[in-house]
Amino acid sequence: MIKVRVKRVYDQPDPGDGIRVLVDRLWPRGLSREKAKIDVWLRDLAPSDELRRWFNHDPAKWNEFRLRYWSELDKNISGLNALLGIIRGNGNVTILYAARDRLHNNAVALAEYLRARYGFDYEII
């Protein structure tokens, strides 16, 4: 079974991260490209600006955010294919996000989507 890691981009990179994929629409504030050690930036896989602003990292909106984001993902064939190719071709993949909340963010929602649609397991680091 394929397992995807989910990790905050500000956390120390680790050799076990494998391919590090940023899935935020905006570059993480105050973080240089060298320090981030990001291999791929799939900004088009992030929630739309409208959905991101609506959610505003409010845990009370989490369930509705996931439903809306999953609907966007269902329509984002090229973005999903890019990520699926990376996951299937590399084994170790870590999805990165910048939000402070480690449980209610787009990377966790994406990992849950990958589990529901493709059977990939995930681990939040």
- pLDDT for 34-92, tens place per residue? 899 999 999 999 999 999 999 999 999 999 999 999 999 999 999 999 999 999 988 78
Q: Quote the percentage of the chain above a pLDDT of 90.
A: 92
- pTM of the model as a whole: 0.94
- What pLDDT, in 10s, does the model give residues 63-74? 999 999 999 999
Which tokens belong to 47? 């929630």
- State in Å, rounded, how far the first CA of the chain is from the last one: 18
| CA separation, residue 7 to residues 33, 50, 95 (Å) | 16, 24, 6
Residue 2 has pLDDT above 90, yes or no: no
Contacts of 30 (CB under 8 A, 6+ apart): none
Domain boundaries, the chain: 3-124
Q: 87, 116, 91, 88: which is closest to 23 by C-alpha?
A: 87
